[in-house]
Amino acid sequence: MDGSTGASRYDEVYAAWRADPDAFWRRAAERLEWATPPATVFDPGMGVYGRWFPDGRLNTCWNALDRHVGAGRGAQAALIWDSPITGRAARFTYAELLDRVARLAGALAARGVAKGDRVIVYMPMVPEAAIAMLACARLGAVHSVVFGGFAAAELAARIADAKPRAIVSASCGIEPGRVVKYKPLLDAAIALSPHRPDFCVILQRPEHPCELTPGRDVDYAAAEAEAPHQPCEIVAATDPLYILYTSGTTGAPKGIVRDNGGHAVALMNSMSMLYGLKAGDVMWTASDVGWVVGHSYIVYAPLLAGCTTVMYEGKPVGTPDAGAFWRVCAEHGVKVLFTAPTAIRAIRKEDPEAKLLAGYDLSKLEALFLAGERCDPPTAEWAHALLGKPVIDHWWQTETGWSISGNFRGLGLFPARFGSGGKPAPGYDLRVLDEGGQEVPRGQIGTLAVKLPLPPANLPTLWHADDRFRSAYLETFPGYYNTSDAGLVDEEGYVFVMSRTDDIINVAGHRLSTGAMEEVLAAHPDVAECAVVGVKDSLKGQAPIGLVVLKAGVDRAEADIAKELVALVRDRIGPVAAFKDARVVPRLPKTRSGKILRGTIRKIADGETYAVPPTIDDPVILDEISGVLKAAER
């Protein structure tokens, strides 16, 4: 279970960071090539809470591509595109990827895109999405990737806020059994937005080419082919590299800003310290470039480290089956696989005995990393028993850009505890606070908060919204960044992230973690995945309700399974949980990145009005959930 590889240097390295943060991050910065090396590591007087490497100058694209080609790695594979959904694949060496990126940068520059300009990238999982991101970085332009297929209104809101000079998009995206036409969505979004881009670059996909708008749209392939190589623009370390929008509680999207210098330093450092990877190793992050995980560990971090990165246009199951992940790992020699717990649960649900693993050689796979939501112990234990490799749950957020906590392969693994996200990463002074901002004793649940300053690569602010940044993240606990995640740190320093703070429910005065109840439900042998939410209760204030999806092949009475689940929670957590309601559903509503929409489930259960989240994978699921809840009421 521990997956340890000998004595861990974690305590030593964490203590060294605590003793001298500047020296720690200065050493990390020396692994990059700087046009002007930073003399100052951190300036607490700049920005909202301080800025990293304020007098340093560099280019992120140069560090991700040019320097590797210059060092003789031009013939090494940089990017492997694997698309079972289209039946196509491609492999790009560092030299080939540099050529493509430099030409697209030239095409953008020829049409007026310059340092500081914003470019929205609205693309499916194709190599051109990564090429567009890197081309923007090469120019010193600020890219903002919007998840491909987002509704027109959501895209319009991002266009209005970022005010891009250009948009890079595609004719379509491909999903199992359907084509998602991007061009009508793009046109509608531009029509809705008060800001209009100067031009759009459209990748024509053979599955569904589209008509270009005269005078505005240019063909991606033609523009790239005719453009000269564009040199790198040197930028300040504090200049923005990208904006990534995340949903805000007020309805307006929040533009998370990522700078160039701190981002490159922290991601480069994480590749060796956290993932244990070196130049030439193959990393596959099974996510999407539209999410922060895709930004950090499909595109930037692997290339900064000289690794080979895999970009996958497919699903964990259904393209064609639940053995898809094992095929990709075997065919491409993947050393580290990083995905969401949801993906592993989906594989386990379809193939609980892992029969589809047979025939695939996973001898090169050394570790499975999980993030995006808390991984329940049964899922981690199943994956560990199946693969015989370390299964490492690590915790981070869109705002942080890399892991707040984890288990650090590059330092020698310490014993893992399934259900825990590991220990705080060097760079994070993590505390657990009560509602008054006071630290709670070890082992008690509270709000997880990071003592300022945040480490490199964490957001310095929100796009053109310093006050909103302060109110959203810094004002609740002065001197701390509020993660809005609830959890605990045990006596040995292991971090347990149980839920978002608004998922701590109050049952008759008792503060209870829905995550702890989900852990119990997931341990039932018939349960593939589950969600627990707190719903209104006239007597207790709130009461927990559990929704479970059963594993494939389970053929038992749902009422019997529900009784067993209620008894299980009563036995393992106690009567105080007041858990009396478990219902079987065909599937759970999720975002496209695999996060369960617990807040929406709660609103349905409480009979509240709700908006269909723009990130939802399939809105029909909400009707299914509503039907199950109403049927139970009758």
pLDDT of residue 3: 41
Reduced to 3 DSSP states, what percent helix, strand and coil does the chain have, rounded to the nearest 5? 35, 25, 40
Range in 137-151, 160-174, 367-381, 590-604 the model is least confident about: 590-604
pLDDT value at 634 more than 60: no
Res 5: pLDDT = 47
More confident residue, 376 or 33: 33
- In 3D space, the residue among 220, 225, 217 whose CA is nearest the CA of residue 183 turns out to be 217
Q: Which one, of 551, 248, 244, 632, lies nearest residue 379 by Cα? A: 551
Q: Where are the beta strands (DSSP E) in 251-299?
A: 254-259, 282-285
User: How far is Cα of residue 590 from the mean position of the Cα atoms in its chain?
Assistant: 14
User: Which domains are assigned to the chain?
Assistant: 508-633 (3.30.300.30)
Mean pLDDT check: name the lowest of 269-273, 336-340, 482-486, 618-622: 618-622
Q: What is the structure's pLDDT at 250?
A: 46
CA atoms within 13 A on the CB side of 633: 10
Tokens of 444: 């008690």
User: Which pLDDT tens digit goes with each residue over 1-36?
Assistant: 334 445 899 999 999 999 999 999 999 999 999 999
N residues, the chain: 634
Sheet holding 495-500, edge to edge: 430-433, 446-451, 480-489, 495-500
Interval 544-561: pLDDT, tens: 999 999 999 999 999 999
DSSP 53-109: STT-EE-HHIIIIIHHIIIIITTSEEEEEEETTTTEEEEEEHHHHHHHHHHHHHHHH
Contacts of 105 (CB under 8 A, 6+ apart): 61, 135, 136, 138, 139, 227, 230
Give phi and psi for 514, each to the nearest 5. Answer: -65, -30
- Measured from the Cβ of residue 89, the count of other Cβ atoms closer than 10 Å reads 13
Least confident of 120-124, 153-157, 358-362: 153-157
311 pLDDT above the threshold of 90: yes
